[in-house]
Amino acid sequence: MFKFKITKVLFFMICLLFFATNFTGCIYFSVEQSSESSHSIDASSEAPSTPQESSIIILSTTTSTENSGLLDAILPIFRTDTGIEVKVVAVGTGQALKMGEDGEADVLLVHAQSSEEQFVANGHGVERYDVMYNDFILVGPKDDAAALSTEASADILKAFTLIRQKECKFISRGDDSGTHKTELKLWKEVGLEAGGAWYVEAGQGMGAVLQMASEMQGYTLTDRATYLSMKDDLDLKIVVEGDSKLFNQYGVIAVNPEKNDKINNEGAEKFIDWILSEKGQSLIGEFGKDTYGQSLFIPNAK
């Protein structure tokens, strides 16, 4: 009796597994198909004059460029100039690079220089160009319990050391994003191990982590753009800024067109030319000035 039941349960489990794999497989497949078909539909209806392949590109980028509003501000102008529509997939740097590696995107705009160089070296991308940089800042509770704004206002390594010593609450992105990688690099540089009750690993995007830091009254490393755009809703202030270690370089890379025949290399190259051009660069530099009184991204294409 008992034996019979076990075999029955096993049978069900195996069925379930088959079902699960088939099912997820189908979803995966259908996503591919639908993006494919939308390519051709959009192409034929919206830009009949340009060749089909170059009318749409998929840009895989980090949440910071999308959330800050930069892309919304400049991409319509790019479209008017070139007739190319950009589909933006905003994800973490890790996933953005992964999408490039899988040939799911045509062009990447990300900020993790060493990973990017590795990406190109591994043959996944054509070439990497500097586009712009923004800077990271350390934000924390308004009462600034660790007194970072007086002790280490422009010295991020000292600030990290103080946080570690006093075990102040610190919210880490914990999601393998560019910001997270920068944070880990800083811990490594000060030679300290981050971990323990004071060190909260959120595994979420910048906006959610800033909310958490505000809620838990902790410190966190953030990019300036996201912080400025959310500042009014946060119970936080800037405690450390201006350290050159906090500069965050964005690069643009066209995905290696040999990955698959869906990759729109022509469009990707046009996008790169445009964003590195004088016009693209000045648009980036202007962005944010009217709202925040300062540029959120500083163009530095060579």
Partner 1 sequence: MKEILDGVINGFRLLFSLEPEVYGVIYLSLFVSLSSTIIAAILAIPTGIIIGTKEFFLKRSLVRSIYTMMSLPPVIVGLIVYLSISRKGPLGHLGLAFTPTAMVIAQAILVTPIITGILYNGTKEKGLEIKRVAKTLGANKLQTLILLIKELRFSIFTGIVSGFGRAISEVGAVMIVGGNIKGHTRVMTTTIAMLRSMGEYESAIAIGIVLLLLSFIINSILYHLQAD
In the complex, the residues that contact partner 1 under the rule CB under 8 A are: 9, 12-13, 16-17, 20-21, 24-25, 28-29, 91-92, 94-99, 174-177, 200-205, 208, 212, 215-216, 235
Residue 253 to residue 87: CA distance in whole angstroms? 16
- How near is the Cβ of 171 to partner 1 at its closest, in Å? 9
Residue 50 to residue 85: CA distance in whole angstroms? 11
Residue 169 to residue 298: CA distance in whole angstroms? 31
- How near is the Cβ of 216 to partner 1 at its closest, in Å? 7
Task: Kindly tell me which of 79 and 98 has the beta carbon lying closer to partner 1.
Answer: 98
Residue 186 to residue 240: CA distance in whole angstroms? 13
Asked whether 156 and 243 are in contact (CB, 8 A), the reply is yes
The region that residue 51 occupies, defined by phi over 0 for left and psi between -120 and 50 for alpha, beta otherwise, is: beta
- How near is the Cβ of 266 to partner 1 at its closest, in Å? 26
The region that residue 217 occupies, defined by phi over 0 for left and psi between -120 and 50 for alpha, beta otherwise, is: left
Residue 50 exposure: Cα atoms within 13 Å on the Cβ side: 20
Report the relative pairing of strands 107-110 and 56-62 from DSSP bridges: parallel
- How near is the Cβ of 207 to partner 1 at its closest, in Å? 11
Residue 125 to residue 106: CA distance in whole angstroms? 10
Task: Kindly tell me which of 259 and 270 has the beta carbon lying closer to partner 1.
Answer: 259
Residues 267-282 as b/e (b if ≥16 CB within 10 A, e otherwise) read bbbbbbebbbeeebbe
- How near is the Cβ of 56 to partner 1 at its closest, in Å? 23
- How near is the Cβ of 170 to partner 1 at its closest, in Å? 12
Residue 16: both structure tokens together: 């379930």
3-state secondary structure of 300: coil
- How near is the Cβ of 108 to partner 1 at its closest, in Å? 12
